[in-house]
């Protein structure tokens, strides 16, 4: 691998190897389309509540089920990726969340919708685990944070695509299929969610497993050994597993409690605790907020590669915690938009930080297992967030209930001080 130090802001990307680029494209597109499918639920949430007669607590519970199952999927696919390969795990997880999203279109009851969202969560959790390991192990340490940042930056792009699709279809109300058959627009939105499955065809033909994983897999085969799960509880690993799991739990509780409910918060009438925007206003607002989310990841990557991973992570989650109350209390639409972009920036960029730190903390033989466990333990815990915000919203309004997420972000900042600094780590 070349030791040439590229110049310019994007020089590192222009001088990347073919394998580095393909791994980044695969992980990035998988993550973008994961976000697309997950965000479709938030975009049609107000319509689902009306169609199925759901209250806010039930609506939050369904999103909680998705997050809970994503924890299971992430842990499982972490083991799967260590045993069978990162690219293989990525393909299977994408197929699962794509097909499950399409299946949501055929739901005839809250129970059926909840089941399909639960299956979608399995693939959602697995995609991040496999994609992050694929990118981290393929890229050189001096550019690893920037590469993972670009992968994570695809999440707000996927959310933006979901907002555009929902804005297009929901604006029509119903779709006429002919012979008097009408399809509610929210069902059409979910049907679009099956398209990411096509990405699997390209990954299968063009993406290699990382060389470091192939070497470790060969060594395990020669020893006739399995993935050494007992390593997770050995002293040199155990402390990092516990602290990373706790940090992930607090940060994701804040994220999912806040961003699951923001679309409904903007759309619901003022008398119901919302802002009373129409679907087009909400779509435009979310797209602008997505700009802040997108910028957060490359900024984190560049700064973290320069000054260190941990301190930048702490700044992100603490700023998110401080900005949420301001976002809720502001009345001016312009200020709400500007602060909303900052909330999007700091409230989502920490995902890049966790991906970088976690992948550099653990050895290759159990990397995907450990990262999948710690990250998705957080996802599992964060399943409580949409439910609790929904319950509090019934009594105090959605805006006031967002203060719970502020506390979670600040807690994540405190826990992150216990994480190791991993800048410059050579994967082993």
Read off the pLDDT of each residue in 38-67 and give the average, rounded to a whole number: 85
- Give the pLDDT confidence of 277-292 residue by residue, as tens digits: 777 777 788 888 888 8
Amino acid 2: pLDDT: 45
Read off the pLDDT of each residue in 118-140 and give the average, rounded to a whole number: 90
Amino acid 288: pLDDT: 84
Q: 247: buried, middle or exposed (CB in 10 Å: 19+, 13-18, 0-12)?
A: buried
CB neighbour list of residue 264: distance below 8 Å, 6 or more residues apart: 42, 45, 46, 49, 56, 59, 274, 398
Amino acid 320: pLDDT: 97
Q: Is the pLDDT of residue 404 over 50?
A: yes
Q: Is the pLDDT of residue 368 over 90?
A: no
Sole residue written with tokens 């399809």: 183
Read off the pLDDT of each residue in 140-160 and give the average, rounded to a whole number: 87
The answer to whether residues 258 and 387 touch, using CB atoms and an 8 Å cutoff, is no
Q: What does the block give as tokens for 159? A: 């959310």
- Give the pLDDT confidence of 201-226 residue by residue, as tens digits: 899 888 999 988 888 777 766 555 55
Read off the pLDDT of each residue in 33-53 and give the average, rounded to a whole number: 87
Q: Quick one: what percent of the chain has pLDDT higher than 70? A: 93
Residue by residue, DSSP assigns 157-183 as HHHHHHHHHHHHHHTT-EEEEETTEEE
CB neighbour list of residue 3: distance below 8 Å, 6 or more residues apart: none
State the pLDDT confidence band at 175, using cuts at 50, 70 and 90: low
Amino acid 1: pLDDT: 43
Amino acid 110: pLDDT: 93
CB neighbour list of residue 301: distance below 8 Å, 6 or more residues apart: 145, 146, 147, 148, 149, 150, 352, 356
**Cα dist. 82→214, 228, 281, 397, 414 in Å?**
10, 10, 45, 44, 31
Return the domain boundaries, the chain: 17-416
State the pLDDT confidence band at 177, using cuts at 50, 70 and 90: low
Helices 56-84 and 18-43, packing angle to 10 deg: 160
CATH architecture group of domain 17-416 = Up-down Bundle (1.20)
Read off the pLDDT of each residue in 364-369 and give the average, rounded to a whole number: 81
Helix (H, G, I), strand (E, B) or coil at 71: helix
Sign of the alpha-carbon dihedral angle for 382, 123, 60, 162: positive
Using CA atoms, how far apart are residues 257 and 405, in angstroms rounded to an integer? 6
Amino acid 103: pLDDT: 95
Q: Is the pLDDT of residue 80 over 50?
A: yes
Helix (H, G, I), strand (E, B) or coil at 184: strand
Name the residue with higher pLDDT: 330 or 249: 249
pTM of the entire predicted model: 0.77
Using CA atoms, how far apart are residues 261 and 77, in angstroms rounded to an integer? 28
Q: What is the residue-averaged pLDDT of the chain? A: 86
Read off the pLDDT of each residue in 302-311 and give the average, rounded to a whole number: 89
Using CA atoms, how far apart are residues 114 and 110, in angstroms rounded to an integer? 6
Read off the pLDDT of each residue in 65-84 and give the average, rounded to a whole number: 86
The answer to whether residues 212 and 360 touch, using CB atoms and an 8 Å cutoff, is no
Using CA atoms, how far apart are residues 326 and 332, in angstroms rounded to an integer? 11
Amino acid 178: pLDDT: 59
- Give the pLDDT confidence of 314-329 residue by residue, as tens digits: 999 999 999 999 998 8
State the pLDDT confidence band at 4, using cuts at 50, 70 and 90: low
Read off the pLDDT of each residue in 46-58 and give the average, rounded to a whole number: 86
Read off the pLDDT of each residue in 97-122 and give the average, rounded to a whole number: 93
Top-ranked range on mean pLDDT: pick from 19-23, 58-62, 377-381: 19-23
Q: Is the pLDDT of residue 3 over 50?
A: no
Using the 8-state DSSP alphabet, how is residue 362 labeled?
S
Using CA atoms, how far apart are residues 164 and 153, in angstroms rounded to an integer? 18
């Amino acid at each position: 691998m070349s030791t040439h130090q590229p110049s310019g802001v994007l020089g590192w990307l222009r001088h990347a190897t073919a394998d580095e680029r393909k791994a980044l494209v695969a992980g990035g597109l998988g993550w973008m389309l994961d976000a697309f499918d997950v965000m479709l639920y938030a975009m049609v949430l107000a319509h689902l509540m009306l169609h199925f007669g759901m209250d806010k607590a039930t609506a939050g519970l369904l999103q909680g089920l998705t997050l809970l199952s994503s924890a299971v999927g992430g842990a499982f696919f972490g083991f799967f990726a260590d045993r069978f390969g990162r690219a293989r795990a990525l393909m299977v997880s994408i197929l699962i969340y794509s097909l499950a999203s399409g299946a949501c279109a055929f739901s005839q009851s809250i129970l059926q919708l909840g089941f399909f969202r639960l299956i979608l969560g399995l693939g959602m959790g697995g995609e991040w685990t496999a994609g992050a390991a694929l990118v981290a192990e393929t890229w050189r340490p001096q550019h690893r944070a920037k590469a993972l940042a670009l992968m994570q930056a695809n999440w707000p792009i996927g959310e933006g695509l979901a907002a555009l699709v929902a804005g297009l279809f929901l604006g029509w109300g119903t779709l006429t299929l002919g012979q008097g058959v009408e399809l509610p627009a929210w069902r059409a939105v979910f049907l679009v969610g099956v398209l990411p499955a096509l990405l699997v065809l390209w990954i299968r033909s063009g993406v290699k497993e990382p060389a470091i994983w192939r070497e470790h897999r060969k060594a395990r085969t020669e020893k006739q050994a399995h993935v050494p799960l007992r390593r997770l509880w050995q002293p040199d690993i155990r402390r990092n597993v516990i602290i990373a799991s706790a940090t992930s739990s607090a940060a994701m509780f804040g994220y999912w409690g806040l961003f699951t409910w923001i679309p409904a918060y903007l759309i619901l009438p003022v008398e119901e605790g919302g802002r009373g925007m129409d679907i087009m206003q909400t779509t435009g607002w979310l797209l602008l907020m997505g700009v802040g989310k997108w910028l957060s990841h490359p900024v984190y990557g560049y700064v973290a590669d320069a000054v260190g991973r941990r301190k930048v992570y702490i700044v992100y989650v603490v700023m998110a915690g401080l900005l949420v109350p301001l976002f809720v209390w502001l009345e001016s639409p312009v200020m709400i938009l500007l602060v909303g972009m900052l909330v999007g920036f700091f409230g989502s960029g920490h995902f890049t930080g966790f991906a970088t730190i976690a992948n550099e903390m653990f050895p290759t033989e159990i990397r995907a297992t450990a990262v999948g466990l710690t990250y998705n333990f957080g996802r599992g815990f964060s399943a409580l967030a949409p439910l609790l915000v929904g319950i509090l919203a019934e009594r105090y309004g959605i805006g006031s209930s967002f203060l719970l997420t502020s506390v979670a972000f600040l807690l994540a900042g405190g826990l992150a001080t216990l994480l190791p600094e991993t800048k410059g780590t050579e994967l082993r």
